[in-house]
Amino acid sequence: MNPFFWQSLKQKFKQELIIWRIGAMPGILVISLIVLARVTGNLQFLELAAFDRFLRLRPIEPTDERILIVGIDEEDVQKIETYPIPDRDLSALIEKIASNHPAVIGVDIIRDLPVPPEDAEGYARLVRVWQKYQNLIGVDKALPDRGGNIIKPPPSLPPERVGFIDAVLDESSLRRIVLSTSNLQGEYRESLIIKLAQIYLAKQGWTMENVPDDEWSIAFNDKALPRLQPNSGAYVRVNSGGNQILLNPRSNQTPFTIVSLEDIKNGKVSSQLIRDRIVLIGVTTLTAKDIINVPGIPHRPFVYGIELQAHAISQIVNGVLEQRPLIKTWTDGWEYVWIIFWGLIGISLSRFLRSPWSIFVGLGITGIILIGICYGALLLGWWIPVIPSLLVLSINAAGLTASLFYRYRQELEYLKLRSQDRQKSIERIFDAIHAQPLQTLAQLSSKLKQFNFVSPEDKNILVSQSEQLDLELRELRDSISREMIRSENIIFINEVQINLQNPLQDILYQTYDEVMRRDLPCFPTIKVRIPNFKELDESRLSLEQKSDLCRFLEEALINVGKYAEGVTRLKVSCGQEKEQNFIRVEDNGIGVEIERQTEQRQTGGWGSKAAKNLAWQLGGKFQRRPNFPKGTVCELTWAVNKSWFWFF
């Protein structure tokens, strides 16, 4: 393949790195701040809100035919004329349901004491019901409330037929459910949800077991329920004690069939709605104050406790039998890789899109893609970060990063226009040089050849010098012409093209090598040449400053070649010492006389002024001093940059 192609590609790559170092720094800072905000939990509220919103926007699911809710509503309470529902009525309801052979019955009603206390016969009947039906599960509260109180299960029920109904809230909202935990005595306890799911799935041939290497995780055969961790998803150091899973509620206005106590009592419910189903008995009246905010449920986020139990049971049962998604999360590492990736996408948009309008259009399209990916992932059961990703994308694409890249492009356009103006000015100077000085030199050279009062030797010297001056003026014109038409990262040292994107020590050596090939009067006497070019810190140098450093070295070497008479040793070095960058040229020719040093300090030649100006730009120092025992040292120094962010 063409080597020039690879050279061009390499140059473009290096130039792109410099552009990214300038423009991408704010973007990297934005990514760092967003990651820090997420690590400290400051984005948790927004991420949970987005999670809830995605859940509410899911497609409609069919009503779950595996679950029947028997809700004791306000009308039932009015007909019974008392609340809580008495033991006598509750036992009659259970017996009526059990006669239709459900798979399992869950009673989400507290019965640690007789109701009413004076109805001993009604309580005795309920005790007989508890003992008679082995597929009947009661409830208690295993975790203490703020006052340290717990609620005991029905006394006549064995522990294996009792499930707790404790809920864990996030700022008064429920997004996760507890399947198992330890009580105050350190005993392993299971919730009503997992009890009912286990019994139902066992009838379908699925066995509940523990996951190896995790005593709390639960699986049905090879189907593991994804356990919530302290930093799962948007959560930051959340209390994930026991076995908790994220709730994936059913998306439907009527997710379950709900009938009332009176419907069961009056025979209005077909036995087909009960047979082989999970039947939940609970309260669906505001009198009980058993209402929970589940923001992920569409249409009606406030649901009764018995409905929450149904959503959780349905999630597990259908996740096992129908492969309905159980919500999972990535590990922390992959989540932050995802966030950083979208931050870099935002930086890229601001880099490669030219105008603010195109940036905003690109941002809109990319943002829609990001949201679509996150929404689609949730439909498949994966909760991935959307809010921090959207923040880093938006801020980097439309914020400070974009403005820096835009300003950089505007500066390039300005430099291009300025370069064109300079080109026109130089062309006019070319015409002036050709019309006057070059013509004058030609005439002078012609007349010198005719002079007879000058000795032949002096005449030859004068003619030679005038011709040399003519040649130098023409070379100067050609050099300036090349400088004007070059690209912003190329300079010419005489005929040699130097790419300013290359490392500084390399282009300085190219400059040294080119100058030492010139036919200057003092170079032939040099016996020892010591080039020593080591790495320099160029993190803060512009291409223009790198060009000026090459010109500085060229000027210093030309001075040696022209004026260091009798020079036999030349040492040219660059590198770092004592936290200073340096470029140094040392010779042992005729030294700089004290009188000449004084005169230069007072007036200064063009080269010295240019060197001092360059030193001022770099915040450094230029000096020309005598070398010992003889000769001259020409040196430019400037500080090494140690700021950490220039690494980027």
Q: For 94-149, what is each residue's pLDDT tens digit?
A: 999 999 999 999 999 999 999 998 889 999 999 999 999 999 999 999 888 877 88
Could you give the angle at which helices 456-485 and 400-435 cross, rounded to 10 degrees? 150
The token pair that represents 314 in the structure block: 């349905």
Cα 320 to Cα 314: distance, rounded to the nearest angstrom = 10
Order of strands, edge to edge, in the sheet holding 162-164? 162-164, 136-140, 104-107, 278-283, 64-72, 256-260
Which pLDDT band holds residue 353 (cuts at 50, 70, 90)?
A: confident
Which pLDDT band holds residue 420 (cuts at 50, 70, 90)?
A: low
pLDDT at 6: 65
Q: What is the mean pLDDT of residues 403-407?
A: 56
Q: Smallest Cα–Cα separation from 218: which of 230, 206, 227, 231?
A: 227
**pLDDT value at 590 more than 60:** yes
pLDDT at 562: 87
Cα 184 to Cα 640: distance, rounded to the nearest angstrom = 63
Burial pattern 558-568, b for ≥16 Cβ within 10 A else e, equals ebbbebbeebe
Scanning 204-331, the segments in alpha helix (DSSP H) are 261-265, 305-321
Q: What value does the CA radius of gyration of the chain take, rounded to a whole number of Å?
A: 43
Q: Smallest Cα–Cα separation from 116: which of 82, 163, 93?
A: 82
pTM: 0.67
Q: Above pLDDT 70, what percent of the chain? A: 79
**pLDDT value at 614 more than 50:** yes
Most distant CA pair in the chain: distance in Å? 151
**Single-letter code of the amino acid located at 478:** D
pLDDT at 632: 93
**pLDDT value at 482 more than 90:** no
Question: Domain extents for the chain?
Answer: 3-40+330-406, 55-325, 436-485, 492-648
**pLDDT value at 351 more than 50:** yes
pLDDT at 462: 64
pLDDT at 487: 53
Strands 243-246 and 256-260: unpaired
Cα 445 to Cα 89: distance, rounded to the nearest angstrom = 130
**Cis peptide bond upstream of 629, omega within 30:** yes
Which pLDDT band holds residue 600 (cuts at 50, 70, 90)?
A: very low
pLDDT at 475: 63
Which pLDDT band holds residue 474 (cuts at 50, 70, 90)?
A: low
**pLDDT value at 163 more than 60:** yes
Contact 64, 197 (CB under 8 A): no
pLDDT at 599: 45
Cα 568 to Cα 550: distance, rounded to the nearest angstrom = 24
The token pair that represents 638 in the structure block: 């400037």
CA–CA distances in Å: residue 492 to residues 10, 484, 548: 19, 10, 12
Q: Smallest Cα–Cα separation from 370: which of 333, 350, 402, 345?
A: 345
Order of strands, edge to edge, in the sheet holding 569-577? 528-533, 569-577, 580-587, 632-639, 621-626
Strands 223-224 and 214-220: antiparallel
Cα 220 to Cα 204: distance, rounded to the nearest angstrom = 11
Contact 119, 88 (CB under 8 A): yes
**pLDDT value at 510 more than 70:** yes
Q: What is the mean pLDDT of the chain?
A: 85
Cα 23 to Cα 351: distance, rounded to the nearest angstrom = 8
List the Cα angle 490/495/496 in 5-degree steps: 50
pLDDT in tens, 91-109: 999 999 999 999 999 999 9
Cα 441 to Cα 422: distance, rounded to the nearest angstrom = 26
DSSP state of 525: G
Contact 338, 370 (CB under 8 A): no
pLDDT at 477: 61
Cα 347 to Cα 260: distance, rounded to the nearest angstrom = 59
pLDDT at 642: 56
Q: What is the DSSP string of 80-147?
A: HTSSSPPHHHHHHHHHHHHTT--SEEEE-S--SS-SSTT-HHHHHHHHHHHHH-TTEEEEEB-S--TT
The token pair that represents 556 in the structure block: 């210093």
pLDDT at 602: 43
Beta-carbon contacts of 375 under 8 Å, excluding residues fewer than 6 positions away, are: 54, 57
Cα 249 to Cα 315: distance, rounded to the nearest angstrom = 7
Give the range among 53-67, 292-306, 378-392 with minimum mean pLDDT. Answer: 292-306
Residue found by looking up tokens 């949970």 in the block: 48
**pLDDT value at 314 more than 80:** yes
pLDDT at 185: 86
**Single-letter code of the amino acid located at 127:** V
Q: Helix or strand or coil: residue 481?
A: helix
Q: Above pLDDT 90, what percent of the chain? A: 59
Beta-carbon contacts of 120 under 8 Å, excluding residues fewer than 6 positions away, are: 114
pLDDT at 318: 96
Contact 311, 250 (CB under 8 A): yes
**pLDDT value at 645 more than 60:** no
pLDDT in tens, 16-49: 666 566 667 788 888 999 999 999 999 999 999 9
What is the CATH number assigned to the segment(s) 492-648? 3.30.565.10
The token pair that represents 232 in the structure block: 């799962």
Beta-carbon contacts of 647 under 8 Å, excluding residues fewer than 6 positions away, are: none
Cα 309 to Cα 315: distance, rounded to the nearest angstrom = 10
Q: Taking the CA of residue 175 as centre, how many other CA atoms within 13 Å lie in the half-sphere pointing to its CB?
A: 27
Contact 178, 242 (CB under 8 A): yes
